[in-house]
Amino acid sequence: MKKEMKVVRLSKEAETPEYVMESDVGFDLRAAEDVSIEPYEQKKVKTGLMIEIPDGHVGLIRDRAGIISKLGVHTAAGTFDPAYRGEVSIVLVNFGEESVRIEKGMRICQMIVLPVVKVKIKDVKSLGKTERADKSFGSTGLK
């Protein structure tokens, strides 16, 4: 069952997001402005959109493979709650060695909208035991 997500375009040039292929889990968001990002710099890029995430859901920002592999640009984590009504802006980080130009209309990230389960948070003295226990980063190996 598809949920409805309302979108307001803040200018005629802003493009309504869409799933490129029927099987896609995320829809692309595009830059609404030209931005230059220097090596190891992060910049907030406007999309020219306001969105209304359905109640009980969250919009999560994810990298697009093309912008990573071709430009070395990643998105910083982004979480959009149902109550947010401002313009969607995306934080991009240039991990490359050269300046990157983000052009208006460029697909800069994708958003995945997922249902959320709210949990009751409870203070306790200890947690249940597992085989992994407190083993941290890399505990299951790299291969």
Domain-by-domain residue ranges, the chain? 6-115
Residue 127: HSE in the Cβ half-sphere, 13 Å Cα cutoff: 7
**Could you report the per-residue pLDDT of 5-32, keeping only the tens digit for each?**
999 999 999 999 989 998 999 999 999 9
Give which of 113, 31, 21 is closest to 73, Cα–Cα. 31
| pTM of the shown model | 0.86
**Could you report the per-residue pLDDT of 30-46, keeping only the tens digit for each?**
999 999 999 999 999 99
Given CATH 2.30.30.110, say whether it is the number of domain 6-115: no
Q: How does residue 55 score in pLDDT terms, banded at 50, 70 and 90?
A: very high
Tell me the C-alpha distance between 73 and 130, whole Å: 37
